[in-house]
Amino acid sequence: MPFTHTWLPYIYLYVVGGLLFLVGVIVVVKSGSLDLKKSYHRTWLTVLFFGLIWFMVMHALWNMAALEILSLRSSVILWLIFMIGSLGFGYLKFVRKERS
């Protein structure tokens, strides 16, 4: 498999897309639309970065399974650990915030 089909699209996607994403975050923070003084806006900032990592991890594990760097089973297990871990962590934070 040529590099143009293995990791180049992944790198391009998250370098160019990631730059656009960062510019977006900077623009909305600087404009005051995303107001980091508000607690629920800070939560939104976390969600925004979580979303980027979510897709990066998903694509990376998928790539590794396709290229047989990891077995299909290992990739799925790692993905489930990441998904359950991050969603569980988010839920616990939400519950703690609700209680306080």
Partner 1 sequence: MEQVGEVTFHSIGSTSVWIVMIAYFAVVMLFGSYFGRYTRSTTDFFFGGRRFSWWLITMSIVATGVGSHSFVKYSAKGFEHGLSSTMTYINDWFFVPFFLFGWLPIVVYSKVRSIPEYFEKRFSPSSRFIATMLLLLYMIGYIGIGFLTLGKAMIPLLPPEMFGLPVTLMSVIIVIAVITGAYITFGGQTAVIFTDLLQGFILLFAGLLLFAVGIGYLGGFQTFWDLLPMSWRMPLANFNSPPDFNFAGIFWQDGIAGSIGFLFMNQGLLMRFMACKSVNEGRKAAAINILFVLPISAIVVGNAGWLGKAVSVASPDIVNPASSPDQIFVVVANIILNNPIIFGFVMAALTAALMSTVDTLINATSAIFVNDVYRPIKGFVSKKIASKKDTEKRELGVARIASIGITTLGVLAVIPFDSFPTVYEAHGYFHSTLTPPLVVAIFLGVFWKKFTPAAVITTFLGGVALMLLGAKYPGVLIAPFDHGIQLNPDHPYTYIRALYNIIVCATVAVLAAWTTGLQHKFVRWVRHLPNTSMIMAVLTSLLSIIYTVVIASFFVNFGTVSSIFVLIAISIVLVPLVVSYYVVGYDVETHTKGLVASSIQDARRFFKGSEPNDREGQKVEVHYKLDDSTDDMIRFSKNDMKAMEAEPGDLVYLCDKRKYLGGLKSIHSVYGEAHDEDGIVYINTDQLKSGIFVEGKTLIAEKEL
| DSSP alpha helix (H) spans, the chain | 3-6, 8-30, 39-66, 72-99
17 sits near partner 1 (criterion: CB under 8 A): yes
- Which residue in the set 15, 36, 51, 88 belongs to the binding site for partner 1 (CB under 8 A)? 51
Cα(1)–Cα(24) distance, integer angstroms: 34
Told to check if 100 binds partner 1 by CB under 8 A, we report: no
Site for partner 1 in 61-80 (CB under 8 A): 62-63, 65-68, 72
Interface of this chain with partner 1, residues 18 to 47, rule: CB under 8 A? 18, 20-21, 24-25, 27-28, 31-34, 38-40, 44, 47
